Structure 1
Amino acid sequence: MSARERILQRLCERADGALQAPVSDFSVVTGRNWTRQERVEHFERWISSVHGEVIHCSSTNWTGVLATVLRDKRVERLALGREHAIAREAREVLDAGDVELVDVDRDVDGWRRELFEQVDAGLTSTLGGIAETGSLWLWPTVDEPRLLSLVPPIHIAVLDADCIDDTLFDVMRRHGWADRMPTNALLISGPSKTADIEQTLAYGVHGPRELVVLLRQ
């Protein structure tokens, strides 16, 4: 019998019975009971406090707002997917414009230099937001890879107000993470930032220097 097997046997033969999982009290991480408007206000206040930019729009005019953002920020090359509804709608509006659309559904090894040096912004969808922390949560796919939100200098994310939950626990419970935990979920709470030993913040050192959230209501 190996040492591992002996340890497991001792655990199984405990004199005081089998181990029982402790009762968990999750009340501290849920139960905010905010209204839809309160969730929007909490989300916007917290993400704005760390230099995230929130622009209100609707499900019908958001592509026009996107075009304005790209023009105002002088974006010439925008990286985006093809299959997601957000990418398809954006392409319909931007295909005939001045912004060059960069496809991301390809092996990163073949366009790594282009991604890091020549792309001005990345556009992604989101699966939701977290009001308590002012965070977005994304679940990257082949069509919207993780690098799309982590590498370009500007990250533009589209968020529906109805998809904002009170807390991270509420997100995990509502979307059944206990049964189907995402392998690569991203939580984004503002643009990339870091600090030196004197705690002086610098933005965009290790990722996007700007985060723009198009909040559809």
Structure 2
Amino acid sequence: MNARERMLARLRCAAPTMVSPEEIDRIDERIDSHYDGRRDMLPAAARTTSALVDAMQAALTASHAEVFRTTAQAWPTLIAQRLEQANVERLLVDPSSKEGAALRRALPSSIEPRAYDQTIEAWKSELFETIDAGFTVARSGIASTGTLVLVPDAGSPRTASLVPPLHVAVVYANSLHADLHAAMRAERWASNMPTNLVLVSGPSKTSDIQQTLAYGAHGPRELWVAIVEGEGDAKPLANGEQA
């Protein structure tokens, strides 16, 4: 047998480990206790939504993303103006979402909004060669790592955040979580896991070739994130509470 066959044979012969539901509950409790303890050590001021926005902005900026702190009224015009300044001509945007509709209304005539309303086979060349930017709305964000949590659907599939050279995203300040554990628990991923989740923590980058950092090798070269803030962002959050 070659190395692959030997490895697979060992895996097939290994006895499966049986874990009781009670043991799983105990493990979950230990994990919850660990992360709750870490968050309890933080001062109350560090657990407000405003503090989470600060942390989200700092982490994203450190990952070479461009971050705008804005409001529900101002963000469509802000993004439209920045897209125009960046000479974007075609924007992939879901017109069926309220955010997509708001952005389309704010776009200047020089920018053509395109909906993902065809199969990938029907417009693959056009999609990869002519779409300048893709727009998405994050379900939530993870402040400690500057991570956007995207739940793709038919109108805004993974392609919107992976194919165009510029990814533009909106995330609401009151959807931010302190860390991955808080996000998983508050959004009940264990019992209500979406079919597909995309976690975005900056523009695409790699250092596979000669240890030289390069952007855009496997996805967008640029990431813009508009954090939409509003009233009540100074409320301290209890452990596991969704912002």
Q: Indicate whether the TM-score tops 0.5.
A: yes
How has the CA–CA distance of structure 1 residues 57 and 19 changed in structure 2, closer, same or farther, with 3 Å as cutoff? closer
Q: Is the 8 A contact 2:77 2:103 kept in 1?
A: no
Q: Is the 8 A contact 1:77 1:120 kept in 2?
A: yes
User: Which has the larger displacement, 21-30 or 126-135?
Assistant: 21-30
Equivalent residue for 2:180?
A: 168
Q: Is the 8 A contact 2:84 2:110 kept in 1?
A: no
Once the two structures are TM-superposed, the CA of residue 49 in structure 1 deviates from its matched residue by 0.6
Equivalent residue for 1:50?
A: 63
Q: SS at the partner of 1:129?
A: strand
Once the two structures are TM-superposed, the CA of residue 19 in structure 1 deviates from its matched residue by 8.3
| Aligned residue identity for 2:186 | R
User: After TM superposition, what 4+ stretches of structure 1 lie above 6 angstroms from structure 2?
Assistant: none
How has the CA–CA distance of structure 1 residues 112 and 29 changed in structure 2, closer, same or farther, with 3 Å as cutoff? farther
Equivalent residue for 1:71?
A: 84
Once the two structures are TM-superposed, the CA of residue 41 in structure 1 deviates from its matched residue by 1.1
Q: Is the 8 A contact 2:115 2:155 kept in 1?
A: no
Task: Answer 1 or 2: which has greater helix percent.
Answer: 2
Equivalent residue for 1:15?
A: none
Query: Identity of aligned pairs, percent?
Result: 38
Equivalent residue for 1:102?
A: 114
Equivalent residue for 2:34?
A: 28
1:81-129 alpha-carbon deviations (Å, 9 max, x no partner)? 12111111112222x6210111113211111111111000001111010
Question: Which of 178, 185, 200 lines up with 2:197 in the alignment?
Answer: 185
Question: Which of 145, 148, 152 lines up with 1:136 in the alignment?
Answer: 148
Once residues 19 and 141 of structure 1 are traced to their aligned partners in structure 2, the CA distance between those partners, rounded to angstroms, is 33
Q: Is the 8 A contact 2:152 2:196 kept in 1?
A: yes
Instruction: Return the TM-score normalized by structure 1.
Output: 0.87
Once the two structures are TM-superposed, the CA of residue 20 in structure 1 deviates from its matched residue by 5.0
1:81-160 correspondence runs (5 A) = 81-94=94-107, 97-160=109-172
Once residues 19 and 204 of structure 1 are traced to their aligned partners in structure 2, the CA distance between those partners, rounded to angstroms, is 44
CA-atom RMSD, angstroms? 2.1
How has the CA–CA distance of structure 1 residues 173 and 75 changed in structure 2, closer, same or farther, with 3 Å as cutoff? same
How has the CA–CA distance of structure 1 residues 58 and 20 changed in structure 2, closer, same or farther, with 3 Å as cutoff? closer
How has the CA–CA distance of structure 1 residues 19 and 125 changed in structure 2, closer, same or farther, with 3 Å as cutoff? closer
Once the two structures are TM-superposed, the CA of residue 45 in structure 1 deviates from its matched residue by 0.9
Once residues 21 and 61 of structure 2 are traced to their aligned partners in structure 1, the CA distance between those partners, rounded to angstroms, is 46
| Aligned residue identity for 2:34 | V
Runs of at least 5 residues in structure 1 that lack an aligned partner in the other structure: 13-17
| Aligned residue identity for 1:150 | L
Runs of at least 5 residues in structure 2 that lack an aligned partner in the other structure: 1-11, 41-46, 230-243
The size of the alignment, in residue pairs, is 204
Once the two structures are TM-superposed, the CA of residue 196 in structure 1 deviates from its matched residue by 2.8
Residues 1:196 and 2:208 aligned together: yes
Once the two structures are TM-superposed, the CA of residue 208 in structure 1 deviates from its matched residue by 0.1
| Aligned residue identity for 1:28 | H
How has the CA–CA distance of structure 1 residues 91 and 19 changed in structure 2, closer, same or farther, with 3 Å as cutoff? closer
